[in-house]
Structure formats: C-alpha cells, structure tokens
Structure 1
Amino acid sequence: MIIVDAFPVPYSSFVTSYGTYGKCEDCEKPVHSTAKINGKRICAVCKKRNHPNFDLEAEAKREPIPKFVDSDAAFKCPAKRCSAKKLSFCEFYVGSCCSTALNREVSEVEENEECLLMHKIYQKSRRDVVSSYDKWLDADRAYSRAELNEKNARKALEKAEKEIADAAEKFTTEKTKHDEAIKWQSKVQKRLFLTVKAVTEGVISDTEPAKKKSKRAEVNEKLQCKVCSSPFDVEHPEAILASCGHRACTNCLMKLEEKECPAVGCGARFSEDKIIKVLD
C-alpha cells in the first residue's frame, strides 16, 4: 500500500530533471547512482543482474572499472502543501524539505530497500559530519592565526605611525634650526665684511694732506677689481677673500684657474666658500 504523502522508491512522476547520472537506462528508474557500462548509464542493481561479469571482463582487457557517480536528478516533494521542486535524490528520500516528508510512513512493499538506502545515506552523512568537523577545525585554526597576524600587524602599524610622527617632529625642529643658522650666517657675513673693510681701508687723517691724498688714491684703487681693473658695479659685483681680506670682482675670482689671491705680493690660496660677496 502506497500512501499519497509517503515517499516510496522515487517514481518518475516526482522527477523534475534526470540530469546526467540520475536515470538507469536498463530499468528506466530514477536511481541513487549510475555507472557507464557498454555506453549506457546503469544502476548497481541492473549491473549485478544484467552485467555480473563486467568488472572481470574489464580487468582482463586492462580497461578501467567504471565508477558509480551520485545522481544529479532533481525531484519535487509529493506532499501537497510543499512547494520544493529541486530536491536531490538523498533530500527527496530523507524528506528534508518539510515535516510531512520527514515523518512519512514507510511503504511495506519497499521497506527493505528503503532501509538499506537510508542506512547508506546515514553512513555518508556521518562521514560528511566528520569531514565538515575537520574542515571547521582547520578554519578555526586559520581564523586564530589570522587574528594573531592582524594583532601583530596593528602593533607594527602603530609602531610605524609613531616613528613617522617622531620623524616629522624631528624634521620640523631641525628645519627651524637650519633656517635660524642661515639667518645667523648672513648676519655674521655682513659683520665680517664691515670688519674687513674697516681694516683694509684704514682711517684718513685730516691733519696730513699728503697722506690723505695717498689714502684717497688707495681707496679709489680699492674700488676696482685687482684682476680686470673694472670698477665694482652690477656687472662686476665686489667680493672679499676671507683668507686675506683682499678684494676683487666675484666674476674674476670664480674664473681663476688657480685659486690664489690676485693682489700683488699676496697669492693666498682660497676656495669658493671663502669668497664673501659684498651685500648691497
């Protein structure tokens, strides 16, 4: 006796799609799995009944023994109030879609076959639980490692941010000191120029006319370049050598191959950083 809402061996009326592996081409029934034998998809029962020696023949011919592939057929629930239409073979048999299907009565005609199939499905579900548990443990370990890596990364990021902040503060401080050093150098350079100028020009006495005239001639001579004899102006800017105090135009001093003072009887060696440009 088959009850309307019961789940007997899946009948064709409940199949919405056979897929590739869901129908035996010998018994024409939707089955749990099929293997390809002699070009046809055959269930395990039909293989044992119709092709009992196929595996031995395949081994003798050194051909691979066909493997059974789980059904990819789709089923609808026969329960009137259930709208499930894409159940797998196992889902259909177990009745996972609704309480009516899960608590169905077992057909007396098919009870032995259904018990064997349900036992097979149960064993597979146990293996799936073990496999999923192992995968869950692996995922949990990976998650813990990821959390630890994130924690370490955050610490490294915080350290890097602090180093950046410290470096920025130090940069600002050192730049301020550098700017102040430049201003101080400018003041010192100006004072050095005034000091050297006062020493080299000397003081002219009003009570000694001859010496005054000589001093004026010397002053006039000092207002021109010792090398090109051009008066100091915009084109011939005046410069003083810090090493000896003698003057010449900046252009001539920079062009000298031998960096020696051009003043007669001096010849003091100098470098470009010893050339003090006279400020306007």
Structure 2
Amino acid sequence: MEYTKGKVLSAQISLCNAKSDLKESERQLEIARKEVKNAEDAVINERMKQISAKLFLKKVKKRVLLVTRAAVDDSDDEPSHKKTKQDMESKSQCKLCFFPFDDEHPEAVIIPCAHKFCFKCISQLPQKTCPSCRSPFSENNVYRVY
C-alpha cells in the first residue's frame, strides 16, 4: 500500500509540475503572440509611410510637370527674338508685389495651379485662393521654388 501511495504522490507531483510547465508555456506563447502583433503593426506602419512618400513624390512630380509645361507654353507664345526684357522680368517677379525673384531674394513659391508668387504675399492672403485664377489652395500645397 505504501508503494501505491508513493506512486500516487509521485504522479501528483509530476502532474503539478506539468501544470506549472503548461502555464509557463502558455505565458511565453502569449508574449510571443504580442511580439508578433507588434512586428506586424510595425510593418504596416512602414508600408503606410512608404505609400505616403510615394504619393507625395507622385504629387510633386505632377506639379513639376505642370510647372514645366506652363513654362514651355509661355515660351511658345511668341518667338524668342520678339521677347522684351520687360516680358522676361515679369515672369521672374511676384505678380502681387512685383518684387523680383533672384539669388538675393529667393522667396518664390508655387501653388497647385502652377502660379508663382512670393511666400510673403501668399501667406498674407485672407482667403487661400490663387490671385490669378481663384483656384483654392492650402498651406500644405505651397511649394518653395528655391
């Protein structure tokens, strides 16, 4: 009978140890699941940053194309030998304050409609619409040229 009690006691101790090991394994599994979830979240955040950066780059490229097209369209209006110095200067100055854009004063900005103004004039507008064509813009859509 003592032999059986010893076996039962030994089996109970083994069962208790197994339960303890099982709880520890479950705890480690839960920790691993949390780490996997955090890693998945980090991957998703990085993908969103990449997508955002790609969209921003695409938007900038589109605006650059628009601006270069506008510059090409302006240059095709009349032959280059007929352009006067005044015409050339008017394209390199703010249309609101008539301040020239040059190396000393590189404050030129372009808004989404491809019109160019100085930052001071654009930032002081009460309504954020283009003074030339009245298309709306926001502070996020103002891009410095220089």
For 2:71 and 2:143, locate their aligned partners in 1 and report how far apart those are by CA, in whole Å. Answer: 12
Report matched runs for 1:210-225 at 5 Å.
Answer: 212-213=83-84, 216-225=85-94
Q: Name 1:199's counterpart in structure 2.
A: 73
Q: Could you tell me which runs of 5 or more consecutive residues in structure 1 were left unpaired when the two chains were aligned.
A: 1-132
Q: Deviations over 1:226-253 (max 9, x none)?
A: 222210135342223323x432112211
**How far did 1:197 drift?**
2.4
Q: How does 1:98-177 map onto structure 2 within 5 Å?
A: 143-177=17-51
Residues 276 and 202 of structure 1, relative CA distance in 2, 3 Å threshold: farther
Alignment partners' CA distance in 2, 1:206 and 1:189: 25
- CA separation of 1:178 and 1:150: change in aligned 2, threshold 3 A: same
The answer on whether the counterparts of 2:63 and 2:112 sit within 8 Å (CA) in structure 1 is no
Match for residue 107 of structure 2?
237
Tell me which residue corresponds to 1:274: 141
What's the Cα RMSD here? 3.6
- Please tell me whether the aligned partners of residues 193 and 276 of structure 1 are also in contact (alpha carbons under 8 angstroms): no
Structure 1 residue identity aligned to 2:107? P
Quote the Cα distance in structure 2 between the aligned partners of 1:268 and 1:179: 25
TM-score, normalised via structure 1 length:
0.39
Letter in 2 for 1:221: S
2:129 counterpart SS class: coil
1:256 partner letter: L
- What runs of 5+ residues in structure 2 fail to find an aligned partner? 1-7
Deviation at residue 182 of structure 1 after TM alignment: 4.2
Question: Which string of whole-angstrom CA distances, capped at 9 and with x for unpartnered residues, describes residues 77-106 of structure 1?
Answer: xxxxxxxxxxxxxxxxxxxxxxxxxxxxxx
Aligned sequence identity (%): 22
1:250 paired to 2:124:
no
How many residue pairs were aligned?
Answer: 138
Structure having the higher Rg: 1
**Which structure exhibits the higher relative contact order, with contacts defined as CA atoms closer than 8 Å and separated by 6 or more residues?**
2
- Structure with higher helix content: 2
| TM, length-normalised to structure 2 | 0.65
CA distance in 1 between partners of 2:40 and 2:130 (Å) = 48
Pair 161,182 (structure 1): closer, same or farther in 2 beyond 3 Å? same
1:226 aligns with: 95
Secondary structure, aligned partner of 2:65:
helix
